[in-house]
Amino acid sequence: MPGLGDEIVRGRAAEGVWGGGEAGAEAGALSPLPPTHPPTSTATTAPHSTSASADASGPAQVSAAASSPGRPGDSADVVIIRRTLDEIGPVADKVTSYFYALLFVRHPDLRALFPAAMDTQRDRLFKALLTSVKNVDDTAYLTEYLSHLGRGHRKYGTLPGHYPAVGECLLTALARYASSTWGPEAEAAWVRAYTKISQIMIDAAAEDELVAPAWWQAEVVSHELRTPDIAVVTVRPDQPYPFLAGQYTSVETPWWPRVWRHYSFAAAPRSDGLLSFHVKAVPAGWVSNAMVHRARPGDVIRLGPPSGSMTVDHTTDNGLLCLGGGTGIAPIKALIEDVAERGHRRPMEVFYGARSDHDLYDLDTMLRLEQSHPWLSVRTVVALGRGGGPRRSLSGQLPDAVRQYGPWWEYDAYLSGPPGMIRNGVDALVGVGIPSDRIRHDSVEELVAAGD
């Protein structure tokens, strides 16, 4: 596309600042890791974590994300860009398909960076591009979001030279489907925005390459089947893996190359360096079924860099209110261990939700932790049945159960579980008086995309 190549060449994007080297929830070579802004907090993240909308399954969400009105203070470029987005909104599925067709025909070498099946990947890259250009005026957000993507893309083998190829195909697709608003002025605005976007990602990747590998090899050392469809998998990375309790990583199995899914760490950092994950196999889930039903000790998986900000603020004495639904109890367990290791006795209230008593697969562990730490209280909430197992067992939905207790205004809240639970939980917590900036969870889009 005229102009784009010149802009990229004038920047460092074509200067080889990347010296080589290589986001559960992204599935393709250039697909985004979940945005870190907003991180894991506030009710406004509910329409979020694994791409740019609450549902990463289809082009309809791209349309919804694309058609947003202009805002006071927008630059001239952003005003022009938003007009383009408004025009392509109704045909976003066609724009996405055309974009990928162009990319793979013009640059067939890039096809190898994407998974063989594009169904889960289809609109993720395009959605990330639209999210970025819409926020091109917000330098702080853009830098945080894109730096995260740039670092995460190293594991796919993304190189600086790939960015101009993506940009050219993006502009060609826009010119075809935004014919009413497209012209030299619009093209120039998009070129400037895309040049800024790609440079941030390239610089972040180059900086990260100096201090971290693109991915880690990790050997499975134990595989414990807790239920017919839930396994606790423990792995040993081939080199030190720094992370914080409450974070997650992306996992690729040898059986499905280039297909990555997000899983939370189920324990705080350990002295032996081992990492544990709680994985539930879901219908047609490539990575989850491989991890639960196929992985065995001795198998080697790959890990992307750690991510997520659902971490404990150790600078405050606030209590911790934790809601964990299903395998979402895994990062909650890590948070408990983190608080215990600090030796600072802060009240910690945990609500462990499941569909039935049978699904409380990690209950024994949670009760042992409660017995060891007097500042910890564990309640189970079972949706179906009476929840008759342990003491302080409740029936119903997790957010409703939390409303029965409190007050919670002196607590920081942490939520982990299915997307619906996160959304309802945020609403419930705000409703009982917890400020939205003290509610932490990983973005909902990310949870949707990690669903298999």
Q: Please indicate, yes or no, if residue 190 is contained in any of the structural domains.
A: yes
Mean pLDDT of 311-317: 92
| 23 vs 408, residue with greater confidence | 408
User: DSSP code of 35?
Assistant: P
CA dist., res. 413 & res. 323, Å (int): 8
Whether residues 183 and 290 share a domain: the answer is no
CA dist., res. 3 & res. 191, Å (int): 7
For residue 125, pLDDT beyond 80: no
CATH of the domain at 261: 2.40.30.10
What pLDDT score does 19 carry? 22
The pLDDT tens digits for 344-383 are 789 999 999 999 888 999 999 999 999 999 999 999 999 8
CATH of the domain at 414: 3.40.50.80
Mean pLDDT of the chain: 80
Whether residues 204 and 223 share a domain: the answer is no
User: By mean pLDDT, which of 107-121, 153-167, 215-229, 390-404 is the weakest?
Assistant: 107-121
What pLDDT score does 399 carry? 85
CA dist., res. 270 & res. 275, Å (int): 8
Whether residues 116 and 176 share a domain: the answer is yes
What pLDDT score does 30 carry? 32
What pLDDT score does 397 carry? 86
Whether residues 177 and 254 share a domain: the answer is no
What pLDDT score does 16 carry? 24
Q: Please indicate, yes or no, if residue 314 is contained in any of the structural domains.
A: no
Q: Please indicate, yes or no, if residue 312 is contained in any of the structural domains.
A: no
User: DSSP code of 60?
Assistant: H
Whether residues 234 and 376 share a domain: the answer is no
For residue 403, pLDDT beyond 70: yes
Peptide bond into 59 cis (omega under 30): no
User: By mean pLDDT, which of 46-55, 59-68, 77-86 is the weakest?
Assistant: 46-55
Q: Please indicate, yes or no, if residue 442 is contained in any of the structural domains.
A: yes
Query: Could you tell me what percent of the chain has a pLDDT over 70?
Result: 78
Mean pLDDT of 88-104: 91
Q: Which of 258, 279, 303 is the last residue of a domain?
A: 303
3-state secondary structure of 394: strand
Q: Which of 303, 328, 347 is the last residue of a domain?
A: 303
Whether residues 283 and 328 share a domain: the answer is no
CA dist., res. 180 & res. 134, Å (int): 19
Whether residues 190 and 272 share a domain: the answer is no
Domain residues for the domain of 53 are 4-209
CATH of the domain at 33: 1.10.490.10
- Structure token pair of residue 319: 């209590």
- At residue 40, φ and ψ (nearest 5 deg) are -125, 45
Query: Could you tell me what percent of the chain has a pLDDT over 90?
Result: 54
Q: Which of 161, 188, 209 is the last residue of a domain?
A: 209
Whether residues 221 and 72 share a domain: the answer is no
pTM of the model: 0.73
Whether residues 294 and 395 share a domain: the answer is no
3-state secondary structure of 57: coil
Is residue 55 very low, low, confident or very high in pLDDT (cuts 50, 70, 90)? very low
Beta strands in 190-281 (DSSP E): 216-227, 230-237, 248-252, 260-264, 275-280
- Structure token pair of residue 267: 């324990």
Mean pLDDT of 185-206: 94
Whether residues 275 and 417 share a domain: the answer is no
What pLDDT score does 138 carry? 86
Whether residues 285 and 196 share a domain: the answer is no
Q: CA angle, corner 15, sides to 130 and 173, nearest 5?
A: 30
Domain count of the fold of the chain: 3
CA dist., res. 357 & res. 360, Å (int): 5
Whether residues 115 and 244 share a domain: the answer is no
The pLDDT tens digits for 137-150 are 888 888 888 898 89
For residue 239, pLDDT beyond 90: yes
CA dist., res. 64 & res. 95, Å (int): 14
The pLDDT tens digits for 101-120 are 999 999 999 888 877 666 65
Closest CA to 269 of 317, 340, 318, 208: 340
For residue 20, pLDDT beyond 80: no
Closest CA to 230 of 328, 307, 322, 323: 328
First to last CA, the chain: 37
Produce one character per residue of 136-167: b if its CB has 16 or more CB atoms within 10 Å, e if not.
Answer: beeeebbebbbbbbbbbbbbbbbbbebbbbbb
